Structure 1
Amino acid sequence: MDSENNQNQLDAAKEAFSRREQKNREAAARRRKKTLKKAVVWAVLILAIFLVVFISSKNETTQEPTNSAEQFFAAQNRDHIKVGESHPAYNSDPPTGGWHYDQPVQSGIYDKEFPDEQLIHNLEHGHVWISYRADLDQESIEKLADIAKDFGSKIVMTLRSKNDTKIALASWEYLLKMDTVDEAATNEFIKDHRGRGPENIVDFGFKDFRTTK
C-alpha cells in the first residue's frame, strides 16, 4: 500500500513538474514572440525614418519641376543688401532667388519696371512674379492681367525689358518662360508655387496699379 502511495505521489510530482515546465516553455515562447514583435516594430520605424530622410534629401537636391517647361535654379542665398549695392550675377534671368533689397513691391499689376533685387524679396515671401516685355501685344497683357486678378494675393505683374522672352513667370527657385500666353501653363505654375517661398508672409492690398489700361 505504501509502495502504491509513493508511486502515486511520484507520478503526481512528475505531472506537476511537467505542467510547470510546459508553462515555463509557453511563457518563454510568449516572451520571444513579444521581443520579436518589438524588434519588428523598431525595424519598421527605423526604415520609415530612413526613407523619409532619404526622400527629403533627394527632393532637396533634385527639385524636379512639376511642369516640364519649368526650370529649377537653387537659390544662391537669401542675403539682404542695400539699394544700389553691387553683388555677383544671378544664376537665372529673371532671377529666382539670391541677393535682394529690404523692401518688396506691393502685390498687384504694374505697367512699369522695378529692380530685380526688389522683386526677389517678393519671391522670398511666396509671391509669383509675372514679367513681360514692352513688345508684348495688349491682348496678351490683358490675358495675363486677368489671370493675376483671378489669383490676387501674392501675385505681382510688371514690365521687364531685360527678359529674353516676351513673358516670364518667376517664383522662389522656379522659372517658366514663354513668348505667347499659355493660360493653362500659367495657371498651373501659379497654383504650384504661389505661397511656397521660404517666408510666407501674409499678403494684402493687391490691385491694378496701371496708369493706362
Structure 2
Amino acid sequence: MEEHLLLHEQTGSTYFLLYTAAVILLLAVLGYWYASKWNKENTSRLKKEEKAALRKKTKKMRLAAHLFLSLSIIVVFVHFAIDMGKAYNIDSLNLKAEIEVSDDQNYGAEHSDDPVKYEMKIPTSGTHSPHDIQFGFYKEKPRNELLVHNMEHGDIIIHYPKDAKPEIIEQLNYFVNFREAGAGVLAVPDENIPEGKAVVVTAWTKTMELDQYDEQKVATFIYTYINKGPEKIPAQIRRGGGTM
C-alpha cells in the first residue's frame, strides 16, 4: 500500500475534541433545561408520592447536567493542552522522499534598501533588504528582497498559487510551524510559479519545482535544507524571524 502522509491531520486532529466538547455542553444545557422544567411542574396539585418522584427525577437530571458540564470543560482543557504542547520536531520531516533540486547560481548577499532586479523570477540569492520577516503563512506575497534575506538565514520559502486547494493550504499552515535553531519556514503566494508547476520550494541557492503537490517531498526538502543558509542566527536572537 502506498504510504500517504497526512501532515495536516496533526494540525486539525484536536478539533475533534472541540466538536465533542460542544456536543457534551449541549447535553448539559438540555439537562439543566429539563431539570428546571420538571422543578416548575412540582406543584401542590401533585400527590405526595408524585412530588417525591419528580424531585428525585429532577435531582438526577441536574446531577447529570453538572457532570456533562464538567466533562465539556475537561475536554476543552485537553484540547488546548495538546495544542500548546504539540512538538514540531524537524526530524519528523525526514521522510527521505526522492526530490529533484536545482543548484542555483549564487548572486551574492549584499544588503540594500533599494528595489532589486533579480536574475531569477523566484530568486534564491542576491542583493536583498537588510530586514527579514517573520516565519508563517502569508496571504499576500512579501517583497523578494525580504524573502531572500530570510533564505540567507536558512529559512525555507514555499511558493504556492493563490488558488491552491484548501487541503494544501492547511498543510502549508502546518509546515510553517517547524523550526531548526534560528531558521524557520514561510509560505507565500506567488504568481511567478512556472506554468504547469503546482508549487515551488526554495532555500538559499536551492529550488525544487513540483508538477504536483507532494507533502512528502516538501517535508524532505525542509528537513534537508533548513538552517543551511550562509548566515546562521541563534534562535534566541531571531525569535521567529522579523528581528534582523
**TM-score when scaled to structure 1?**
0.59
Correspondent of 2:113 among 82, 90, 98: 82
Tell me, yes or no, if the aligned pair for 2:158 and 2:199 is still in contact at 8 Å: yes
Shift of the alpha carbon at 1:166? 3.1
Whole-Å Cα distance in 1 between the matches of residues 187 and 164 of structure 2? 13
Indicate whether 1:200 and 2:235 are aligned: no
Show the 5 A alignment for 1:31-46.
none
Tell me, yes or no, if the aligned pair for 1:97 and 1:172 is still in contact at 8 Å: yes
Indicate whether 1:139 and 2:167 are aligned: yes
The runs of at least 4 aligned residues of structure 1 exceeding 3 Å deviation read 150-153
- Classify the secondary structure of the residue corresponding to 2:108: coil
Tell me, yes or no, if the aligned pair for 2:177 and 2:184 is still in contact at 8 Å: no
Show the 5 A alignment for 1:61-210.
68-84=99-115, 86-87=116-117, 89-90=118-119, 92-151=120-179, 154-164=184-194, 165-202=197-234, 203-205=238-240
Residue identity opposite 2:227 in structure 1: G
Shift of the alpha carbon at 1:118? 1.0
Whole-Å Cα distance in 2 between the matches of residues 195 and 151 of structure 1? 9
Between Structure 1 and Structure 2, how many residues are aligned?
138
**Taking structure 1 as reference, are residues 166 and 77 closer, same or farther at Cα in structure 2, changes over 3 Å only?**
same
Residue identity opposite 1:195 in structure 2: N
Show the 5 A alignment for 1:51-62.
none
What CA RMSD, in Å, does the superposition of the two structures yield over aligned residues?
2.1
- Classify the secondary structure of the residue corresponding to 1:113: coil
Whole-Å Cα distance in 2 between the matches of residues 171 and 137 of structure 1? 23
The match for 2:56 is none
Shift of the alpha carbon at 1:146? 1.4
Shift of the alpha carbon at 1:179? 4.0
Shift of the alpha carbon at 1:174? 0.4
Shift of the alpha carbon at 1:150? 4.3
> Deviation string for 1:125-153 (max 9, x for gaps)?
01001111112112111112212224485
In the alignment, structure 1 segments of 5+ residues that lack a partner are 1-65, 207-213
Whole-Å Cα distance in 1 between the matches of residues 111 and 186 of structure 2? 20
Tell me, yes or no, if the aligned pair for 2:178 and 2:185 is still in contact at 8 Å: no
Whole-Å Cα distance in 2 between the matches of residues 68 and 160 of structure 1? 21
**Taking structure 1 as reference, are residues 83 and 138 closer, same or farther at Cα in structure 2, changes over 3 Å only?**
farther
> Deviation string for 1:64-83 (max 9, x for gaps)?
xx954111102111111223
In the alignment, structure 2 segments of 5+ residues that lack a partner are 1-96
